Amino acid sequence: MKKMQTGLPRDVDEYRIRREALRAPDSVLRVGADEEFDLAEEAADARLSVLRERLLQGYAETGCFPPAEPFHKVRAEIAESDLYRFLVTVPKGGLLHIHAFSTAPCDWILDIGLNEPGCHVCWPQDVDTANIRGQLAFFEEGTAPTGYRSAAALLAEDDGFRSKLRPLLTSCSEDEDIPDLRIWSKFDQVFQRLMRFITYKPIFDRYYPFAFRRALEDQIQYIELRENFVPLYDLAGNVWAGSQIADLYWGMRAEIREENPGFDLKLIYSGVRSLGRTVVLEALKEAVELRAQFLDRNFIIGFDLVGEEDAGHTTGHFLPDWIRLATLLEEKQASLPLYFHDGESDWPEDENLYDAYLLGTRRVGHGFNLFRFPGLEARFRKEGIALEVCPISNQLLRYVSDLRMHPGSGYVARGLPVVIGNDDPGIFGNDGLSFDLWEVVVAWNLDLRALKTILRNSLVFSGMGEQEKAGALRRWEESWKAWAEGVARLP
């Protein structure tokens, strides 16, 4: 790189030319720099810019900048903004990072789920040892363990019951007293509270279709759900596991496609990294079986290990199991693509991303600390390993407080393949993708070119087969064009 002429300028024009030349290589590298826009897209980009600018003027006056505040505190304010309304209309493509158990908004649980016959809540008079307060489960009348009360009775005797339960199931202002990663114990408790609720078959049957339709309302056409395959139950003693669970999802997919033929759903089998090697190996074996059973439909697209990275085992800890997996796949002539959650850490010691890369991960969930490993980052960029960036999740789980400082901003600036995910919208309240997109448009100054590339990435880097992908991309390009033309016609 040639050294530029630096030093005090002779005149304004000469300085401006030098400054432009200095900025040029960065402008070219940025995500979206190579998007060629038509007139309608230019108009839509201008509108996006005006909406953002207006918000910034308002924040300058109030001194409060929402991306620097915990999302639950500013959610309502964001939802009322013109920029949010604008973003809701944008065709999003796919949602590649979202988990089972935290898929639908909490309102569904409170308003509909609690009314399901047999619903009980652990709501002891005093501190209970065996169960946690707010844990939901289904029992026949009169058979619930000590501490559980029927949801119907709790709702009948206390008008404010829902508002007492909500903070136990979502991110809320009380969480602000927990400044660090101890927030994960609350987060894990929410999953524990919901485990016996969402795995109750009559609830499962309704919870997920609601979640998928909610995503469609936010113009999300395609979802890759990280599913843990915890067996389902009902009160007659029936149990659904493995391929039966996958069949149920396949049925939901078919039902939604009757109304919305463009909708599609795929599953990523999720093991838990805090569990021992034996459990993870069993999960790997089941994932291989399931992928093979649904291979003609390409429905179970791969495997992931989820859970708090700093507290759980490293990706390399399971090395003997990755070796066994290689043998197993060879024996069975099977495949199991990997979609690792890795780099979700503030610690420089966390080197899981090296292992994720070496093991051949297709994408990376979060990749929050990739910026610490420049050589590896260059490989991700060159080889097209996409990062599933989840800004609101990272903020609420205490990896970053002010989203302007989120490393994703640098990934966009350095042209990495980035997609945006919402991770756990049921807990965080960021249902759809519009909230996370709002945060990054405002905090990272994303223009429509960057946004378009990021949204297209959600299909390009998906686990769809080539033909499915080509169809999904064509449909998305058409929706995008129609959307931009619609925006351009607005007064």
Q: Which residues bind Zn ion (CB under 5 A)?
A: 423
How many whole angstroms separate alpha carbon 136 and alpha carbon 133?
9
CA-derived radius of gyration, the chain: 24
Q: What is the 3-state secondary structure (H, E, C) of 419-463?
A: EECCECHHHHCCCCCHHHHHHHHHHHCCCHHHHHHHHHHHHHCCC
- Least gap, CB of 75 to Zn ion (angstroms): 19
- Least gap, CB of 423 to Zn ion (angstroms): 5
Q: Which residue has the tokens 């919901």?
A: 194
- Least gap, CB of 98 to Zn ion (angstroms): 8
Cα dihedral across residues 78, 83, 89, 93: positive or negative:
negative
Helix (H) or strand (E) holding 25: helix 12-29
Can you name the residues that pair with 99 across neighbouring β-strands? 226
How many whole angstroms separate alpha carbon 486 and alpha carbon 489?
5
- Least gap, CB of 371 to Zn ion (angstroms): 19
Query: Taking a C-beta distance cutoff of 8 angstroms, is the pair 4, 25 a contact?
Result: no
Nearer Cβ to Zn ion, position 308 or 423? Answer: 423
DSSP 8-state class, residue 312: S
The token pair that represents 309 in the structure block: 């990275």
Nearer Cβ to Zn ion, position 423 or 436? Answer: 423
Nearer Cβ to Zn ion, position 45 or 423? Answer: 423
Count, residues in the chain: 491
Nearer Cβ to Zn ion, position 423 or 439? Answer: 423
Query: Taking a C-beta distance cutoff of 8 angstroms, is the pair 337, 303 a contact?
Result: yes
Nearer Cβ to Zn ion, position 351 or 423? Answer: 423
- Least gap, CB of 480 to Zn ion (angstroms): 27
Nearer Cβ to Zn ion, position 100 or 487? Answer: 100
Query: Quick check: helix, strand or coil at residue 340?
Result: strand
Query: Taking a C-beta distance cutoff of 8 angstroms, is the pair 222, 462 a contact?
Result: yes
- Least gap, CB of 160 to Zn ion (angstroms): 32
Query: Taking a C-beta distance cutoff of 8 angstroms, is the pair 339, 361 a contact?
Result: yes
Query: Taking a C-beta distance cutoff of 8 angstroms, is the pair 200, 240 a contact?
Result: no
How many whole angstroms separate alpha carbon 219 and alpha carbon 371?
31
DSSP 8-state class, residue 131: S
- Least gap, CB of 247 to Zn ion (angstroms): 25
- Least gap, CB of 273 to Zn ion (angstroms): 11
The torsion angles phi and psi of 452, rounded to 5 degrees, stand at -65, -45
- Least gap, CB of 309 to Zn ion (angstroms): 10
How many whole angstroms separate alpha carbon 389 and alpha carbon 417?
10
How many whole angstroms separate alpha carbon 131 and alpha carbon 128?
6
Cα dihedral across residues 321, 327, 331, 336: positive or negative:
positive
> What residues have CB less than 8 Å from 209, skipping those under 6 apart?
252, 255, 256
Nearer Cβ to Zn ion, position 272 or 329? Answer: 272
Nearer Cβ to Zn ion, position 234 or 310? Answer: 310
- Least gap, CB of 364 to Zn ion (angstroms): 11
Shortest-Cβ-distance residue relative to Zn ion: 423
- Least gap, CB of 106 to Zn ion (angstroms): 17
Nearer Cβ to Zn ion, position 147 or 302? Answer: 302
